[in-house]
Chain A
């Protein structure tokens, strides 16, 4: 047990070492890719927080990210606030809007939840596109700068690393807190939660606001990285991409979000230089993941490699725990989240569609 825990710490330390040494090892192009992976990973993680842990699949998260993105861009480039104040205003407005969106969402479940988030995302996009005086419309907003201490590509990488690391730590604590457990409770059996004395609506609202706040932080990093923000960044496609990243890596896992964003960034930035039909490749990767590894890359790794390994070393308890943890994948596979791998032949192909979530929830 002790060895394994230390092993976990050691692997964390080696990831941190590689992350810190990265700008010294690889050229700027790859460092920039890593920066993108970090903030897109945080965005995917924010989706993961409500989709993976609480079972509420959203297609409007880019809209929430967009509030922060437009918030900082408008405050900084139009209203001439300082960057720090602009960032603060942006996060505050994200929290307010996420809370408002959340209030409209707390009663909804399954496909209705999905449709409302989709509509909310489209509202943000519509405002961004039409409210030209404020948002620059289709031309977007320019002239947002990076913090003065992080203008260089490598400095911005470290800055993002620090911010994302803090956020990941917070999310790690949140999902392991009683609040995090109650989210899983909602995912597993929403109707039973009130009977146990939980205020489901309040928990859902809080989850949506917390998740939105992290999406907002990701949005700030995105805007300062590109120095540019325009409506496609808040479009439903961006929301779907975030969801795909989180599914690809493994729903209900923290590392999964970053593995997913890593694959996404690698394909869009690097592979796209060699293969013109890279969106097809991305789609193929996604379909294959759902077919053969419905728990995502990290989820499958944990279930198929890590858990058996733990068993072999005689730690059945930890192994079972991991299998249950990885069970967030059941959200998308329609299987019961008890560490039983659903039959890919019958279940998982059709279950990618949002409807299956509704089916699953109506069954409960």
Chain B
């Protein structure tokens, strides 16, 4: 017992965190990431699941699936939408304590065994075969097969249409829904049209109830001709919404053969209206609040660094990604909206913030070094060139992934150069020349354009390329809300 408690305490010293954030969870996600805990790449590797603000039904059920999928010791944190930086830190500290709490974790593990699976809802007779026939308690294996994922490999596919679930890591989490009976999956696919397309196109996935190809309650993969004209298994794999280094709240339903995406449908749709975190200074100024231009530029620079951090992480350059995120966090340290306070009056920002201004000088130098390093990397250029080609009409999204990286580096550098601009920000959203968000200057529709471009760019791309393309566009789904569209 003593040893287990000791190990639990040490294991809790740096627990990997999996963050679930919707389009409006950006602010809280940034606060969580600023705490510096390691980011988990999959539910299996995560110790803490953090929900950022209210999630909405689909995202909440995805989060529940991921939670069921996480092995103990584990802790769950739900942050209220208006949590301040201090509250976020306190909530994470509390999670750490509960991770180290031996009795609580043992109780959770025992409950996990009994609740992770809901055979009562299973209409499919094959399901009952999959319920545990032996008590796994001795082995410490949290329940049985259903606990985990559904995969794809043997071809039996994550398969069809679990838009409800799309957990991270291959949408594994979705399996619960499937296993929970296909009725559930029907309901979910009814939720938005995209999934129906898949069920139509997915070959074998059409059969839902106990047809021949069902293995363990999951339909066998369908087949289709691949790009070389071979008949290969088709897997239906949702990417997002719970996935590390992925745009907040984005879901791309894909049909894959091997690791090549054949078809991609972007599922956005978020009923709740809200504001984009990255647009806030401009929107606030338009409503007559005093905002300095420097504060807006700070937000713009941080937005680009956030996107660059994602791209560099997906590009397999964790060291550079860490630098980008560290710079972002340093910039946002003096961002009052992020910290949860009201925006400071312009004059108060001018006086008494010497310490922050000095810090900013370091940021300028450190950013220059970071940008030089990324620009000079020949391997990065070799890997990114020619991917995700967008034509020249879409000015700031044009070119390949590498062009977009360079453009972001430049835009962030320019914004950082203007941090000391204390002139008041004046925004007239009614006029054509809207200046707001990461790309500013009448470019507020860029997220919509990026989302519209995605399916075309992803088709035929390998998974690794697809991740890089998405990260290079990094659409801000909060800009798609009706409110944002009208300013």
| A and B bind | no
**Chain B interfacial positions (CB closer than 8 Å to A):** none
**Chain A interfacial positions (CB closer than 8 Å to B):** none
